[in-house]
Chains A and B, each alone.
Chain A
Amino acid sequence: MKLSDSQRQVLRATVERILPSGPYPGARDARVAAYVESELRQLHWRSARHRVLQGLDLLDALARNSHDIGFAAADPETQDAVLRQLQDIPHKTSRRFFRTLVVLSLEGFLGDPSRGGNQDMLGWRFLGYEPGAPPPGGCLREPEEPS
């Protein structure tokens, strides 16, 4: 899937509004936009690509029509207003587009870091989740091998 520079910027901005930085850690801190972009190139998402590209263009068009500025260049409050506007459109494709980005953002924030997102386990640490934390009574045990 080929994203133009402007589509890439809209994607990044959207992901950063879905999981904003401050007061909580957000998408920017955990490298979520890079995960989302890379994930959309995987085979699993091939049928989603078309509606994602359409959705990104729609967000930009909404921002220009209602606020006279491109989505990526707008301030966060304006971006949030445009996203709420998008959610109110009773059209299946635009709804699925937004849901796809929410799903991908959460995968990128809270998925295993080996997949590329959740940089430095920031998403997990925000939730107080440490995988492999020791159970009571000592360290995470090595499996006892049969003698």
Chain B
Amino acid sequence: MTRAVIIGSGAGAAPLAWTLSKAGLKVLVLEKGPRYERADYVRDEVAMSYRNFFTPSLDEDPHIVVADDDPPHRTDLGWIACCVGGGTVHMGGYLYRLHPEDFRLGTKFPGHRDLVDWPFTYEELEPYYTRAEQAVGVAGAAEAHPFEGPRSAPYPLPPLERHPLAPHLEHVLRDAGMHPFPTPRSINSRPYRGRPSCAYCESCAGYGCRVGAKGSVQETLLAQAERTGRCTILPRSMVKEILTDGRNRATGCVYLDAVGREHETPADVVCLCASAIESARLLLLSKSSRFPDGLANSNGWVGRGLTFHATSSGRGRFRRDRHPDLPLDVRHPFLDVSSMDHYFLPEGVAELPKGGLIRFGVPQPAPVSTALGLSWDEEKSKSIWGKELQRRLRDSFVDYCTVDFEVFHDSLAHEDTFVELDPDVQDTWGLPVARIHLNPTEHQRVAGRWLVKQGLEALERLGADELDSTGEGQSAKYLVEGTCRAGEDPRTSVLDRFCRTHEVPNLYVVDGSFFPTSGGAPPTLTILANAFRVGEHLVARDRDGAFDSI
């Protein structure tokens, strides 16, 4: 029986674990973080957001960031989640497909040197988009919106119930010639495949789901993989090195268990799915005499091509006493109105006419986070306290209702944005941590500014009393792509079109690392879909004997 070792247990790992174990391979999943149960996903904002529940502590396992003129410092930038299920446990579950044009920006914009085509098309990925939507259970309504690529099947679940403000906002958007559609969410709008429907509890994004209604890979694919009897998941197992032999074949991994004991485990095929920063880091750590610059890195491309997805944001605040026509007093977690109308920019806005996807929402109540923000005067670099703080808190919560929006858009790869091993800082296991050099291009700020303007105009038409831009072209800390680029040319890529490393024939990197360009829509559904595609390919190669030990 072919033995596959999968490193990581998130959106890239889980479809592989599911596909391979169902096809009869023996699968071992090594996850650095803990394994939580539903009962662990409590509603405690401080515990979830400020006590390293999902991401490691900066003392033990940091990333280092070098950005602007600041000295290198510890950060959780690029840490998605360190637990079984990865980021899909705490995600808001905004599972959009990329647009067909996202796969061919090199052809569409030949003048731009950092834009390249993906080594496969939307059409090739499409059946796996459908499979991924069905696997985790995405609630949406595709008929409503003309900007998507073709679909082979509708969404498996109808849209979630929405805040009564949603039709008001959609009306305003349609009047302006736009085509709003319900935000596709990986949350059960009905009981689905043995899991209950959503309880509409308001502790969603940033929290694990206590009732199992959010389509994390833990609840879905990993649980099913384990039920085959051929998949073992080992939490608190930190892989420190991938081993290769004299024929440049991966032979297994070395990992540390929860008490720091070292283990070596053999593998016929190794799939590295630790997320863009950590996968690149592990390749760089796995040096040998044959790979002095890191495993599969003879061309120096591991760590390059890094993108942090661009996000921009804004909000409109409505005084509760001024809008008798609007249902502002209703408490409901989901507004879920999206628009892809500005996925491409009109001429003259930016050098590259690539825009983004706007997602309108109502902010989730986060009293501590909101209060911490209100208690800080950025200009004076001082805390606000006392009666003034209390007044601000009360004004913000009681007197206003807020509608906000987030725009997901492209971040362009650039030679000044990359990840390498840090020369100074080590993690708690004594291994060099990842050092991120972050220098986003001007495009995302220019595009972000324009996109925010569109969102604010919509909220102004809805009647907002106050409008604020809250971010223009920022770097989303846990939407990361690109560090092991996939491409046809082994001189300028790390992986081939099936995410196999060019240099090690039984080593695959299957998470967000492969993205040759970031795309506009957020990456999670594409990571899931691609992993299903690669999994199917691996099964075919296995049947051909590609992973037989000789």
Name the CB-closest residue of A to B193.
A146
Min C-beta distance of A45 to chain B, whole Å:
10
Cβ-defined contact, A145 with B191, below 8 A:
yes
Asked whether, in the complex, the Cβ of B383 is within 8 Å of the Cβ of A98, the reply is yes
Instruction: For residue B165, give the distance in angstroms from its CB to the closest CB of chain A.
Output: 11
Chain B 370-383, CB-CB to A under 8 Å as 1, else 0, gives 01100100000011
The segment from A52-60, A64-72, A101-109 found at the interface with B is A101-109
Within B23-51, which residues are at the interface with A (CB < 8 Å)? 42-47, 50-51
Minimal beta-carbon separation of B390 from chain A (angstroms): 4
Residues of A within 8 A of B323 (CB): none
Contact A135 B332 (CB under 8 A): yes
- Please give me the residue from chain B that is nearest to A113 by CB atom: B44
**B191's closest neighbor in chain A, by CB?**
A146
Q: A115, B211: Cβ atoms under 8 Å?
A: no
Contact A126 B394 (CB under 8 A): yes
Q: B474-511: which residues lie under 8 A (CB-CB) from chain A?
A: none
Please state if A143 and B43 are interface contacts (CB–CB under 8 Å): no
Contacts of A133 in B (CB 8 A): 331
Q: Are A127 and B393 in contact (CB-based, < 8 A)?
A: yes
With an 8 A cutoff between CB atoms, is B397 at the interface?
yes
Once bound together, how far apart are the Cα atoms of A111 and B49, in whole Å? 11
Chain B residues closer than 8 Å to A132, beta-carbon distance? 201-202
B106 within 8 A of A: no
CA gap between A19 and B392 in the complex, in Å: 12
Given the interface pairs A87-B382, A124-B367, the reply to whether A140 lies near B200 with Cβ below 8 Å is yes
Q: Are B385 and A143 in contact (CB under 8 A)?
A: no
> Is B330 close to A, CB under 8 A?
yes
Contact residues in B for A128 (Cβ distance below 8 Å): 397-398
Beta-carbon contacts under 8 Å, B190-216 to A: 190-203, 211-213
Interface residues in A96-147 by Cβ distance below 8 A to B read 98-99, 102-103, 106-107, 109-112, 114-115, 123-124, 126-129, 131-133, 135-137, 140-147
Tell me whether A80 is interfacial, beta carbon within 8 Å: yes
How far is A140 from B129 in the complex, measured between Cα atoms in Å? Answer: 33
Q: From the candidates B52, B59, B161, B368, name the one contacting A110 in the complex (CB within 8 A).
A: B368
Known A-B contacts A98-B383, A102-B375; A136 and B330 likewise in contact (beta carbons under 8 Å): yes
Complex: chain A residue closest to B46, CB-CB? A111
Cβ contact within 8 Å between A87 and B191: no
Q: Which of B52, B59, B196, B390 has the most CB of A within 10 A?
A: B390
- CB of B386 within 8 A of CB of A80, answer yes
A135 touches B367 (CB 8 A): no
Q: Give the CA-CA distance A124 to B44 in the complex, in Å.
A: 13
Encode contact with B along A21-63: 1 for CB under 8 Å, 0 otherwise: 0011010000000000000000010010000000000000000
Q: Nearest CB to that of A80 among chain B residues?
A: B386
Roughly how many angstroms separate A19 CA and B393 CA in the complex, as a whole number? 11
B394 and A127 form a contact (CB under 8 A): yes
- Interface pair B191/A112, CB less than 8 Å apart: no
Question: Cβ of A112 and Cβ of B383 under 8 Å apart?
Answer: no
B164 within 8 A of A: yes
Q: Is the CB of B196 within 8 A of A143?
A: yes
Contact, CB under 8 Å: B199 / A83: no
Q: Are B191 and A144 in contact (CB under 8 A)?
A: yes
CB of A79, distance to nearest CB on chain B (Å):
10
Q: How distant is B191 from chain A, measured CB to nearest CB, in Å?
A: 4
- Choose one: B368, B386, B397; the contact of A107 (CB below 8 Å): B368
Interface string of B324-340 (1 = CB under 8 A from A): 00000011110000000
CB < 8 Å: which of B42, B43, B51, B190 contacts A144? B190
Residue from A23, A102, A123, A135 in contact with B331 in the complex, judged by beta carbons closer than 8 Å: A135
Q: Which of A47, A80, A131, A143 contacts B198 (CB 8 A)?
A: A143
User: How far, in angstroms, from A101 to B99 measured CA to CA in the complex?
Assistant: 48
Contacts A44-B51, A103-B372, A112-B43 known; list 19 others, CB within 8 Å: A18-B385, A19-B385, A20-B386, A24-B394, A83-B385, A106-B371, A106-B372, A107-B50, A111-B45, A112-B45, A126-B394, A129-B367, A140-B200, A140-B201, A141-B199, A141-B200, A143-B196, A145-B196, A146-B194
| Chain A interface residues toward B at CB < 8 A | 17-20, 23-24, 26, 44, 47, 80, 83, 87, 98-99, 102-103, 106-107, 109-112, 114-115, 123-124, 126-129, 131-133, 135-137, 140-147
Q: List 7 A-B contacts (CB under 8 A).
A: A17-B385, A111-B46, A115-B46, A131-B202, A131-B365, A135-B200, A146-B191
Contacts from B to A (Cβ < 8 Å) = 42-47, 50-52, 59, 161, 164, 190-203, 211-213, 330-333, 365, 367-368, 371-372, 375, 382-383, 385-387, 389-391, 393-394, 397-398
Report the 9 A-B pairs with minimum CB-CB distance, sorted nearest first: A143-B196, A146-B191, A127-B397, A110-B367, A112-B44, A143-B211, A144-B197, A24-B390, A111-B46
